Amino acid sequence: MNIYLDNAATTRVDKRVIKKMLPYFDNKYTNASSIHFPGQENDIEINNCKKEIASVLNGNSQNIVFTSGATESNNLIIKGVMRANVNKGKHFLISAIEHPCVMESARELLGEGFEFDYVPVDKNGVVVLSELEKKIRPDTVLISIMAVNNEIGSIQPMIEIGKIAKRNDIYFHTDAVQAVPYLKIDIKKWQVDFLSLSAHKFYGPKGVGLAYIDKNIKIRPIIVGGGQEDGIRAGTYNLPGIVGMTEALKLSYQERDSYLKEVRNIRDYFWQEIKKKIKNINLNGDLKNRTPNNLNIMFKGIEGEAILIDLSLKGIHVSTGSACSAQNLRTSSVIKALGVEDDYMNSNIRFTFGRYNKKSEVDYTIDKLIKTVERLRSFTPIK
């Protein structure tokens, strides 16, 4: 048994995507920055990819910059925009539930004399708009708020945040890495100036992503070199990755309606069953305002990592939060931001469903999960 319920950490690459990528390792291997004809053909292919992506995201293809993934995109946008716009101010805002790559980029800027504030979230993990408005200062340059949270799947009010940002003449960035295809990403409607994506979150390859960057706004690059991407991001174009990401993004939105229905059915079935069959569990966040692939469940009286390892020994692979949290074993800042009591901070499991999960896998998981919870609860000292 090998049941993968950690689709928010990464996804399996779609076979159609792999097929599309293969020629770019083989006979179409040329450097897209080369002047010769095979090189120029690849340069044209990159521009075609940008056009296709821009049409899916309802943005301008000139504003797409390919990167190694959303971690790089978030680093580039937050640090690059703040460093290049000190004439506007040195203050910015991020939500309290951002991914560590946003948090760490923000903290790095503190050492350079920049300042930032966290925008708090409510108990369902949605940013409080009145708090956002209160925290805006005359020298606020940038608001960075994720579109969908990685741990609890809560959906943020993009349109409203965009309005607030525009009204106050502040740039708006969103890390939309968990949003494909759950939200209809719409750069114009959301009024975002910057947006980050990673291909591997939507059945594309790892090591490729994009930064949508409004080219009318100043940005200082982090990776410098041969001047690719108008000097914003140097490095040889990752053709197979770019082609793969483009295909994965297109497929994700072409098949969106049926996928959302299927993943929601599986997710809801799982939640209904375990709610009936396992006592003393809570859903972290709200069932409605979250993406249909995500559940984050508190199992009272037992510890999350023990649940995770016990399930993984049975061939069921889940997570205690973001995959990054396994690296440092810190408790989740997201769950903490929801106002969950300290005693329950270590009892949470994230289940994220995906395109390849079957109902039979969910049935097997329910059965094994009941046994895991029973076993661990049989020897907990928590009353």
How many CB atoms are closer than 10 A to CB 379? 7
Query: Judged by CB, which is closer to other proteins: 42, or 325?
Result: 325
User: Which listed residue (234, 260, 283, 324) is catalytic?
Assistant: 324
Residues forming contacts to other proteins in the complex (CB under 8 A) are 301-306, 309-310, 313, 326-329, 331, 342-346, 379-382
H-helix or E-strand spanning residue 116: strand 115-119
Q: What's the start-to-end Cα distance of the chain, in Å?
A: 34
* Residue 14 DSSP one-character state: P
Active site residue 49: no
Closest CB to other proteins among 106 and 340? 340
Which of 124/346 has CB closer to other proteins?
346
Beta carbon of residue 3, minimum distance to other proteins (angstroms, whole number): 19
Decide the pairing of beta strands 115-119 and 209-213. unpaired
Q: What share of the chain is helix, strand, coil (3-state, %, to 5)?
A: 45, 15, 40
Nearer to other proteins, 119 or 302 (CB): 302
Q: Minimum CB separation from other proteins for residue 70, in Å?
A: 21
User: CB–CB of 351/5 below 8 Å?
Assistant: yes
Contact 173, 165 (CB under 8 A): no
Q: How many Cβ atoms sit within 10 Å of the Cβ of residue 51?
A: 14
Least distance (Å) from other proteins to the CB of residue 313?
Answer: 7
Min. distance of Cβ 326 from other proteins in angstroms? 6
Nearer to other proteins, 149 or 348 (CB): 348
Edge-to-edge strands, sheet with 294-299? 281-283, 294-299, 348-352
Burial class (CB in 10 A: 0-12, 13-18, 19+), 105: buried
Positions marked active-site? 324
